[in-house]
Amino acid sequence: MSTPAIQISHIHKSFGHFQALLDISLTIEQGEFFALLGPNGAGKTTLISILAGLTRATSGSAQVMGHCVVDDYKSARRELGMVPQELAYDPFFTVRESLRIQSGYFGLRHNDDWIDEILTRLGLFEKADMNMRTLSGGMKRRVLVAQALVHKPPVIVLDEPTAGVDVELRQSLWEFIRQLNSAGHTIVLTTHYLEEAETLCERVAMLKQGKIVALDRTANLLKSCGEMKLHLTLNPDSLPETLQSRVYHKTEHGYTLKIASPEEIEPILVSLREAGVHIDDLSLSHPDLEDVFVQIMGRA
């Protein structure tokens, strides 16, 4: 059996009387594309900071590629590339200089070929000789991604990497990250864009108030939320009383009803016909990760 990419065992973290993490245990295997989800304040960034050596757990242990982040921190940090949520950069250097300095932190010399490839793949090549402080926010975030990749770490942690960036960057970034994952890199993602996690990640852990409240394959989590949604635009815009208990959402454009299976559509249509209500538009949608997230957070 191969060494897990990340092994977290009974991690607790407190800040004074505030318990940020409560007995977190988690194993992420090599080559996984893994999502760490939760509302603001759930403990995601605290957990990532412990892995990156930016903060120390109150108790418990964490390993990256078999290296303890405390006792063998040099090796652990060499195995990890971290893209932070906040924009942090040195305003006195160009993009290329920043990446060369980052390479130097890991003892890498003559790394320009890989730096050029990263710059090209992230759309930064034309900005390579520009000063960091002159870049837009989206470009600065691209540089943070490049810095995380410059030493070719086997494990890459992305903390809200597409927050506040344009659609073009988001698409090009995910294409590059998918290729890195296909090449064997382990990817850990935190994001509030749940459609990204649903599309990209094989497994998902959900945190709330410092605890793991769900941990499973993405497909299994989607199956666990059995309700489908039937979207109806009606004429007149009035739903029979017999269907009111099914209403999930009402807008000026119509009704969204909860159903457990497609077989329930026909009785709904019969009720509408009997009430003299015509259907202008009808569509059916299956549960997505946002539905699962809302349901699990509500139960937790």
Q: Class of the 6-223 domain?
A: alpha beta
The residue ranges of every structural domain in the chain are: 6-223, 226-299
Report yes or no: 7 and 59 within 8 Å, Cβ to Cβ: no
CA 209 to CA 206: how far, in whole Å?
Answer: 10
pLDDT in tens, 248-261: 889 888 999 988 88
Local confidence band at 1 (pLDDT 50, 70, 90 cut-offs): low
The rounded percent of the chain whose pLDDT value lies above 90 is: 59
Q: How far is CA 280 from CA 228, 254, 255, 285, in A?
A: 20, 10, 12, 17
Query: In 3-state terms, what secondary structure has residue 127?
Result: helix
Give DSSP secondary structure letters for 258-276. EESSGGGHHHHHHHHHHTT
Q: Residue 139's pLDDT is what?
A: 84
Single-letter residue type at 90: D
pLDDT in tens, 196-238: 999 999 999 999 999 999 999 999 998 887 678 899 999 999 8
pLDDT in tens, 165-183: 778 778 888 888 898 899 9
Q: Residue 63's pLDDT is what?
A: 96
Report yes or no: 76 and 52 within 8 Å, Cβ to Cβ: no
Instruction: Indicate if the pLDDT at residue 110 is higher than 90.
Output: no
Give DSSP secondary structure letters for 190-241. E-S-HHHHHHH-SEEEEEETTEEEEEEEHHHHHHH---EEEEEEEESS---G
Buried b / exposed e across 192-206, counting CB within 10 Å, b at 16+?
A: eebebbbebbebbbb
pLDDT in tens, 119-159: 998 888 888 889 888 988 878 888 888 999 999 999 999 98
Q: Residue 226's pLDDT is what?
A: 67
CA 176 to CA 182: how far, in whole Å?
Answer: 10
Single-letter residue type at 27: T
Local confidence band at 188 (pLDDT 50, 70, 90 cut-offs): very high
The rounded percent of the chain whose pLDDT value lies above 70 is: 99
- The residues with which 158 forms a beta bridge, in sequence order, are 83, 189
Distance of CA 232 to the CA centre of its chain: 32
Report yes or no: 199 and 233 within 8 Å, Cβ to Cβ: no
Residue 9 sits at the vertex; the CA angle it makes with 8 and 14, to the nearest 5 degrees, is: 90
Q: What is the mean pLDDT of residues 103-118?
A: 89
The highest-confidence range among 25-34, 139-148, 239-248, 259-268, by mean pLDDT, is: 25-34
CA nearest neighbour of 184 among 17, 33, 9, 285:
33
Q: Residue 223's pLDDT is what?
A: 83
Give the range among 12-16, 55-59, 64-68, 91-95 with minimum mean pLDDT: 91-95
Those residues whose C-beta lies under 8 Å from the C-beta of residue 214, and which sit 6 or more positions away, are 204, 205, 206, 221, 292, 296
